[in-house]
Amino acid sequence: MIRKKTMNKKRIGIVLCALLLSGESRVVAKKDLLKTYREKRDLKKTPEPSGRVAKKGSKKKKALFVIQKHDASHLHYDFRLEIDGVLVSWAVPKGPSTDPRDKRLAIQTEDHPMAYAHFEGVIPEGNYGAGTVMVWDTGTYENIKHKNDELVSMATCLADGQIEIVLQGKKLQGAYTLIKTKWHEGSKNQWLLMKMKDDYVDARRNLLTSEPNSALTGRTMAQIAQEGDDAKKEVEPQKKQSPKKRVRVSKKSQKMS
Ligand code: MN
């Protein structure tokens, strides 16, 4: 009887040990990709999404991309690609181009949570990145980077500093490349964003100015700034903008103001 009891105790001990070990290794194995994202923000003071890493979905072929127009201390475009459950991000001061001759500087910034892809609103004064954020373009992308006839994973492309993708956005289409520039002191995060040659090349177009409004809500930066992130109410389909009623100001009254 006594012997049986100790056996059971031993067995329970082994099971508990195994459970603890497996639990621990899982926690250690999961690298926290959004640590920097959370460290830079006080999420109680900004309407930006919380920093949760998305579970890896089923192996869907196409991943998400988003380009956000961000009127912070300097207006820039944030280019983000879904890679392994987060949005890997670059700040592109001049925005993307449809002309392969344009090499657009892209500075890699902290990974953002997937939920950021829908974020449009105002980051209040005093917070990191304070200013208006618009979803300028969004859609899916396909990795086309091959080496010896084999597709290179996005994680490897990122580590190697050589990304080649085809965008299927509401505005941007076709192949783009992101190339990490040679490392000098203090330039660790510098990449170049360039259009690759294909049918979507158009050196005469400038989508940044011809299609300046939100790809999600059709709003202008000014409208977002005014309405904040509270525009989930009803998203009106983008109307052909009727010429705004201009308030006629006579020269006389202009002088007076
Ligand atoms: Mn930004």
Residues of the chain under the 70 pLDDT cut: 1-30, 56-61, 183-187, 229-257
Q: Is the CB of residue 120 less than 8 Å from the CB of residue 217?
A: yes
- Ligand 1 centroid, distance to 43 Cα (angstroms): 16
Q: d(Cα 214, Cα 158) in Å, to the nearest integer? A: 28
- Ligand 1 centroid, distance to 79 Cα (angstroms): 9
Q: d(Cα 45, Cα 10) in Å, to the nearest integer? A: 52
What pLDDT was estimated at residue 104?
98
Q: d(Cα 6, Cα 3) in Å, to the nearest integer? A: 5
Rounded to 10 degrees, what is the CA torsion of 146, 152, 158, 161?
Answer: -40
- Ligand 1 centroid, distance to 131 Cα (angstroms): 9
What pLDDT was estimated at residue 12?
54
DSSP class of 118? G
Question: Residues with Cβ within 5 Å of ion ligand 1?
Answer: 70, 78
What pLDDT was estimated at residue 60?
60
- Ligand 1 centroid, distance to 75 Cα (angstroms): 8
* 73: CB partners within 8 A, 6+ apart: 131
Q: d(Cα 65, Cα 81) in Å, to the nearest integer? A: 5
What pLDDT was estimated at residue 211?
97
Residue with tokens 């127009």: 69
Q: d(Cα 87, Cα 110) in Å, to the nearest integer? A: 9
- Ligand 1 centroid, distance to 33 Cα (angstroms): 18
What pLDDT was estimated at residue 1?
47
